[in-house]
Amino acid sequence: MTDKTLKGKIVLVTGAAGGVGREVIKKLASQGAKIVATDIAENVHQLADQFNEAELVTVVGDVSKSADVEKIFEKAESSFGAVQALISNAGYMIGKALHETSEEEWDAVLAGNAKSFFLTARRVLPNMLKAGKGSITATGSISSVVGLPSQAAYCASKGAVLQLVRQLAVEYAGQGIRVNAVGPGAINTPFLTRYLNSLPDPEAGAAAVKAAHPMKRWAEPDEVADALVFLASDEAAFVTGHILMVDGGYVAG
């Protein structure tokens, strides 16, 4: 029986130090993938100790900057070879309405979400085209498909991610490259906590966010990681251009 997991595959994960990123690394390690974990935060290096039996290298870098992206891919290629699966999980959020959003804040959110995906996908594609196969998986959001209050820049950036996923899927399907996204609702991570703390009333905001999900809870990081790893693997071999919602029924409501 053909192994459809990511065993032996070279997988690059951005945003690896966060709650979802760590769960992705855990699942990849359990499957025997060759992992390149990168994050803007220095604590990404802790993953090497946490998963010391895995084939894993860590790199600190800002994937919204092309020079850092090149450094990350050079580390991946010198350690394992050409990246075969990209999981673009880096993200940044500011909770503000448009009239409250500065130009600098707008640029930061678009860079952290949309530009980072553009730069990493652009860098990984030539080797995937040469190999005639590969998978690119992005972390989108419910904000990719619906408008939400106090998330002007975030909705714009995650909408851009989804549209680029769809465009890339159509562009490269004939070359054996699949491109998909996961669309989480609220996830129980420090990322969510930072967002809630940016609101005028964090406690009321938390209650409202949870109540907006038909399942009346937030996602756990491992539930989102399951979807990312599934789409990146050959278990999803005939899936491309798709956003898999992991949102407790949010967009269906």
Contact 132, 148 (CB under 8 A): no
What is the chain's alpha carbon radius of gyration, rounded to the nearest angstrom?
17
Write b or e for each residue in 87-124: b if 16 or more Cβ atoms lie within 10 A of its Cβ, otherwise e.
Answer: bbbbbbbbbbeeeebeeeebebbbbbbbbbbbbbbebb
Looking at the chain, the number of H-run helices and the number of E-run strands are: 9, 7
Residue among 154, 172, 195, 250 flagged as catalytic: 154
What is the residue-wise DSSP string for 65-105?
SHHHHHHHHHHHHHHTSS-SEEEE---------GGG--HHH
User: What 8-state DSSP symbol labels residue 200?
Assistant: S
Q: How many CB atoms lie within 10 A of CB 171?
A: 12
Q: Rounded to whole angstroms, how far apart are CA atoms 73 and 61?
A: 11
Q: Please say if 154 is a catalytic residue.
A: yes
Q: What angle do CA 136, 141, 145 make, to 5 degrees?
A: 105
Q: What is the DSSP letter of 218?
A: P
The catalytic site residues sit at 154
